[in-house]
Structure 1
């Protein structure tokens, strides 16, 4: 176990366990601030349980035998936030112009409360004004009919149900485009591309049961304590039976240092936390490829390989072995920022382990060569035969609660991932076959004016995407901008004449249609499908479900088609699930009958069965383009910026201003710098500075007013909050294969 003495004591940090009393106090504080009612407590009681409500926060798995409380600190915040008594209706917009609201913080915009009525933007008054659903659908449909479908984008945030997502993707293709990016384009699209290439399956291979049998977990760039705290329960159980944990992350995140289970009376009363990581290695940003190469190099030196598995199941092993053997330890150490001793220790631990799981988050994917980082982790697991056996595999941890599921049912800009021939037969049309736009390409289209229409199924694209200084002015020039949302956010106040704000139900609310109360479904990080039914009264009688809104716009836009029964599908979501089953019969057999199975039903994974759906028919060893995922070191005097989410945050939603698990609070306009780098750069604690992107493309990207805060980070690495630092990320700085923005590896300079 890495001792606390390894933490730089001169910097800010949280010196308590993840979970424990700190977590309970945080939840109670948010409950008090938001004046929660008994209905919220009932929702929390049912959260993530069979026949209950599936959390709208993270996508971590739901166990078949849930705990008494099967929600975490951030899941509770999400539910409290969704079910707030505050309302943001026509009277609010009558008091505030959009010019004024653009001066509000992200937190204050969302804290105004739940949207209650459909609204349209009125340029004359610079306000959103009330409209009717019929008026909104008719006007939006007419506008879409007047646009070239290829100039429009249908974006999805990652929270919408499988039912709404399926209809949304179908609508886009019936309309005539594959411009269907979703939030995975900004985070885990690297996974989809890299895993598909390496093992033939675009998602992770693990199921929840694997964590009961693994001997070793390797974590890369994943902040479990804030982003998926319920994961800490199976981690704790694995540790208690002897499983080892090794963490690679530039930032010391408390969730992988120690954990106190709030549902364990003995821990809560004695204060004895569970140590998590046996070894915590703070590598350089982008140093994962080199670190993994060092582990592989030592495994070759000691002959600790599963050569039978490699011979039977793998392709291109010999070039990989030659490349690893040709690397020098000096280069590996310099690029990773880690010592040979540390990497050898991990390799020896790996060699002794019969079942290894590789776990990662956006710290691995959001780099110029993020796909190569994922590929290197696959390489390591393949060397030991750790894919396709119980207790082993690769496990990307997703963020949004249904972002993986949206891809599963057709929201994708890549037509080759969608059974277009089957859709053509089912709905009697010719689906478009051209590749649609990614997030980066949409942002570029906003800047150059080729994107004329934008429909958003949730999300905050205008704040979440990169290069904000260049993209923000473009929103006001769109011919059509439709935002389906539950709360006000930054994108909504960047509106122009063609803007519409359409409020929808949250997942915890009752969704009653003609056939009665409706269940919706979603997919978790481990490819299990869960039903969810809301029971709380809607925040307003004027709200519609996401499914009804998508169908309403589609009906107003598209010509009649006897095989496209929008009204029937909205009346009974079971009919949509029948369509999903017909479209994806191997994955969704008996969908309606199985959707409420405890623990969800598994839709399967070919690589888990060692059925490699790759060009070679085998698992692929891959070679990285560079030993650093950054694509090169920053210029002389520059730093590598990584963007972070706080403990009081879910993506662009800012619940509050406490980043408790890092010992930070109050100000989000900060830049974290090591004491050594502060001294080298001549910086003082609390000094206000600007960050400037250190690339030479004749465009100035600058964020000012950041307070220097000493923090325990590797040399040359600094950190700032997302999305405040997004203006610093150039559009061209993205993963080479997936075009996922490189939010974890931005070259910047610090200016006093």
Structure 2
């Protein structure tokens, strides 16, 4: 990266004093020029295996990752092929595996050495680097430590406290890694207890998808499968860092590009995985300069410019189609599809035709010529797929943006035919699947009639709390308990300054984890940490070794069997933890055999099939099908489960995805938070982000050089970032180092979750309440540095 050498031009009205201990003195910023994959990935793999002391065992276990009769990756949810590669894992998937099978242990002796107050000062990497928690722990206020507790005592006390509470004031949160079996038991326990308060990590990422797609095409998930990659003629990418967040997708992308298929990317940052890729499994590419160029056109739109860019493409297609109609030439629109299958086209087309090009260019941040070129490429493809990630879903107008992306596909009939479709790229390994089996706060999405008939109880019908609503209740002191099935909720949510103080007032917090994390040290008045088996570990129950199942991003179900010995003999499986609590919490019900289910997970799958027969027909027989078995999706067959029975064009009513942004004031910047190369969700494997050239720190803001100059800053300066909002709450993150980067003017990138403190709880997607982490209005306040450190 090139440093900016400019004098300070603006004297700020106020400054933040910097604490010496917060300065990352050993941080470096050196541009990384290599492709994604290649020797960089090989080196990173060796480094993580060595770091976790599992070089031999980790290498052996990785050979079973995403393989038939092996285990499903515990990180991303990208599809598992029927014919896997020899190494069917990516760099980040290997890091997640090494992290889970680490030889490091957080034993009772470890907790005896460290107070919770001491550990609160540790960063996320230091906390989770303590290793696997080996036995259940309870917080002791007198010593400010976590002390060992027996499983029986923990379950008895948690159940007794929950029985004394109003179920409507208790939340059962689920992270995205719990298996289908665990998720089914968990939602059943919560509903039999009397609540639909079942938020999950979808609420923080792809809930915008779950709201938007049912309105347009009648399904809550994507329509693309792995088979479509071999038949597509064009791929559009919006708001996704494939090289870091779903690297195994680079293999089918490589094959697509070798067929000459264009790939058009819309993203504020030039992410390396969507630029070029060296296949680590190709000897030729590893020993020569050969690589695969992924994107054939890369449009660096402004943060939140996706909707305007899509409208611009649609406008170009309509303009060309109008001209073709006038001249008697072949049409660009798929008129037969539009007439037979859709509704709302004329109103949509009128709005797009009326959209001024200058406004579209301003909001998208790219030129009309660039958008027209992208539209012409798309229009020339017989079959096209559109992929998108959280760069789309985490905006104020994310739902509207997804509507527009779907409109673009409907214009040319690119839903419901081979080689075409929409593909929201989910994050965590089973975040889509747990929704499929009932983890949702929305009772209308649950087959309550089936639950009523199978288990002879009356399911609650009142809407439960999603993530943002649960946080609002915690902030206002209106919740009694928060149970976390995995994850790191306190760290992942917005508004840390507001929420952490409120969290400590909760009467009860319980966390089922493999590693100690921030949600363990920011705890309620009574706090339990319950350690569980990881998915990669052998799960031995009365009926023998058990397997679990997950759903991937393409709607395919897969079996998963652990291969590593458990980290401790005191660990329980997630299904066992849920069942043991349920037995103590709920009245006896002869229709629910918790012990039988835990003894043989096949019986849980039978129950899932009985509850969802259309999706899970012959579940136990099909779970080991190579490539999994696909859930039925009506939209793939051009059947539309919408209220009007048609696919719906949704008319755009504006361009700006964040209407509460304070205009284009020069002092206000748009912040997007993102993950680094050595990170999965809130788990940080190292402080390096090699693709962005950031080494040894996460306390950094990457800015356009022009913005640095206009703000009177030079590369290496330190600033305090402050949210621009009118609610009177001060939201600041100090001691951030600024560095020049290739990012659009007015846009800034920083890391999740360190900058979540800057995201107001009210700053969320309209219609889905997903925190708008990708477009936060901030201003920068230069910091005074001590002379010895300048």
- The TM tier, using the shorter chain, reads over 0.9
Matches within 5 A, 1:334-413: 334-413=362-441
Which residue of the partner structure matches residue 740 of structure 1? Answer: 770
In the alignment, structure 1 residue 607 sits paired with structure 2 residue 629: no
The residue matched to 1:231 in structure 2 has which SS? Answer: helix
Of 697, 702, 723, which residue of structure 2 is paired with 1:672? 702
Are 2:495 and 2:760, in contact at CA under 8 Å, matched by a contact in 1? yes
The residue matched to 2:63 in structure 1 has which SS? Answer: helix
Structure 2 CA distance for aligned equivalents of residues 34 and 120 of structure 1: 26
Alpha-carbon offset, residue 633 of structure 1: 4.2
Of 46, 50, 53, which residue of structure 2 is paired with 1:35? 53
Deviations 1:226-270 (A, max 9, x none): 011100000000000111000000011000000000001111111
Which residue of the partner structure matches residue 622 of structure 1? Answer: 650
Are 2:46 and 2:55, in contact at CA under 8 Å, matched by a contact in 1? no
Of 707, 716, 737, which residue of structure 2 is paired with 1:707? 737
Alpha-carbon offset, residue 9 of structure 1: 10
Query: What TM-score, normalized to structure 1?
Result: 0.98
In the alignment, structure 1 residue 173 sits paired with structure 2 residue 203: no
Alpha-carbon offset, residue 535 of structure 1: 2.1
Structure 2 CA distance for aligned equivalents of residues 103 and 751 of structure 1: 24
Alpha-carbon offset, residue 12 of structure 1: 5.6
Which residue of the partner structure matches residue 693 of structure 1? Answer: 723
Are 1:634 and 1:640, in contact at CA under 8 Å, matched by a contact in 2? no
The residue matched to 1:290 in structure 2 has which SS? Answer: helix
The residue matched to 1:32 in structure 2 has which SS? Answer: helix
Cα 1:231–1:8 change in 2 (3 A) is farther
Matches within 5 A, 1:254-333: 254-303=272-321, 304-333=332-361
Which residue of the partner structure matches residue 754 of structure 2? Answer: 724
Structure 1 CA distance for aligned equivalents of residues 554 and 35 of structure 2: 27
Structure 2 CA distance for aligned equivalents of residues 681 and 580 of structure 1: 57
Of 590, 594, 600, which residue of structure 1 is paired with 2:618? 590
Once the two structures are overlaid, the 10-residue window that deviates more, 492-501 or 461-470, is: 492-501
Please list every run of at least 4 consecutive aligned residues from structure 1 whose deviation after the TM superposition is greater than 3 angstroms: 7-13, 632-635
Which residue of the partner structure matches residue 787 of structure 2? Answer: none
Query: What TM-score, normalized to structure 2?
Result: 0.93
In the alignment, structure 1 residue 526 sits paired with structure 2 residue 554: yes
Are 1:12 and 1:710, in contact at CA under 8 Å, matched by a contact in 2? no
Matches within 5 A, 1:205-220: 205-220=223-238
In the alignment, structure 1 residue 485 sits paired with structure 2 residue 503: no
Task: Count residues in correspondence.
Answer: 746
Which residue of the partner structure matches residue 22 of structure 2? Answer: none
Structure 2 unaligned blocks of 5 or more? 5-28, 322-331, 783-790
Deviations 1:549-571 (A, max 9, x none): 01111111001000011111001
Alpha-carbon offset, residue 14 of structure 1: 2.3
Structure 2 CA distance for aligned equivalents of residues 451 and 253 of structure 1: 41
Structure 2 CA distance for aligned equivalents of residues 363 and 29 of structure 1: 29
The residue matched to 1:158 in structure 2 has which SS? Answer: coil
Are 1:119 and 1:131, in contact at CA under 8 Å, matched by a contact in 2? yes
Of 198, 201, 211, which residue of structure 2 is paired with 1:183? 201
Alpha-carbon offset, residue 271 of structure 1: 1.9
Are 1:12 and 1:711, in contact at CA under 8 Å, matched by a contact in 2? no
Of 531, 534, 555, which residue of structure 1 is paired with 2:583? 555
The residue matched to 1:407 in structure 2 has which SS? Answer: helix
Which residue of the partner structure matches residue 503 of structure 2? Answer: 475
Which residue of the partner structure matches residue 3 of structure 1? Answer: none
Structure 2 CA distance for aligned equivalents of residues 545 and 605 of structure 1: 32
Which residue of the partner structure matches residue 202 of structure 1? Answer: 220
Deviations 1:698-732 (A, max 9, x none): 11111000001111110100011000000000011
In the alignment, structure 1 residue 570 sits paired with structure 2 residue 588: no
In the alignment, structure 1 residue 63 sits paired with structure 2 residue 91: no
CA-based RMSD of the aligned residues comes to 1.1
Structure 1 CA distance for aligned equivalents of residues 660 and 744 of structure 2: 17
Which residue of the partner structure matches residue 647 of structure 1? Answer: 677
Structure 1 CA distance for aligned equivalents of residues 203 and 763 of structure 2: 13
Structure 2 CA distance for aligned equivalents of residues 477 and 541 of structure 1: 33
The residue matched to 2:264 in structure 1 has which SS? Answer: strand
In the alignment, structure 1 residue 496 sits paired with structure 2 residue 524: yes
Matches within 5 A, 1:8-47: 13-47=31-65
Which residue of the partner structure matches residue 132 of structure 1? Answer: 150
Structure 2 CA distance for aligned equivalents of residues 685 and 212 of structure 1: 45
Structure 1 CA distance for aligned equivalents of residues 614 and 692 of structure 2: 44
Are 2:301 and 2:744, in contact at CA under 8 Å, matched by a contact in 1? yes
The residue matched to 1:46 in structure 2 has which SS? Answer: coil
Alpha-carbon offset, residue 37 of structure 1: 4.7
Structure 1 CA distance for aligned equivalents of residues 715 and 692 of structure 2: 17
Deviations 1:323-357 (A, max 9, x none): 00111101110111110000000111011100100
Which residue of the partner structure matches residue 448 of structure 1? Answer: 476
Structure 1 CA distance for aligned equivalents of residues 492 and 653 of structure 2: 28
Structure 2 CA distance for aligned equivalents of residues 26 and 625 of structure 1: 46
Deviations 1:122-176 (A, max 9, x none): 1111111111111011001001001100000000010010000000000110000
The residue matched to 2:504 in structure 1 has which SS? Answer: helix
Alpha-carbon offset, residue 476 of structure 1: 1.9
Structure 1 unaligned blocks of 5 or more? 1-6
Which residue of the partner structure matches residue 14 of structure 2? Answer: none
Alpha-carbon offset, residue 13 of structure 1: 3.6
In the alignment, structure 1 residue 142 sits paired with structure 2 residue 172: no
The residue matched to 2:462 in structure 1 has which SS? Answer: coil
In the alignment, structure 1 residue 152 sits paired with structure 2 residue 136: no
Deviations 1:445-477 (A, max 9, x none): 111011110000000000000011000012221
